[in-house]
Amino acid sequence: MVVNDNPTPTPDEIADLKKAVRKLNSRAGEMKMDLHDLAEGLPVDYELLVETAKRTYDIFNDLDQLKRKLTSWEKNLK
């Protein structure tokens, strides 16, 4: 996920970033549940475990980066 690195974002850019965080947070929750369901069903579908875990990790990593960027931008507005 690519986010503008502008140290002084506009209010619209901040609003867009908040929207992106909400959307990705929803996807992260879905992946978390998918991973949980897969783990509960083990050993059935064990071959899906690594790929599902990797996708879950990637989404949570992206979410963390967006949240950090949002925090930084909001501090710069004050």
- For 3-37, how does the pLDDT look when each residue is reduced to its tens digit (9 = 90+)? 556 668 888 999 999 999 999 999 999 999 999 99
Please tell me the distance from the alpha carbon of residue 50 to that of residue 57, in angstroms, as a whole number: 10
Global pTM reads 0.84
User: How far apart, in Å, do the first and last CA atoms of the chain sit?
Assistant: 26
Q: What is the pLDDT of residue 25?
A: 98
pLDDT in tens, 42-71: 999 999 999 999 999 999 999 999 999 999
Q: What is the pLDDT of residue 6?
A: 65
Please tell me the distance from the alpha carbon of residue 63 to that of residue 50, in angstroms, as a whole number: 20
Q: What is the pLDDT of residue 42?
A: 95
- Output the CA torsion 33→39→43→48 (10° steps): 60
Q: Is 42 left (phi over 0), alpha (psi -120 to 50) or beta?
A: beta
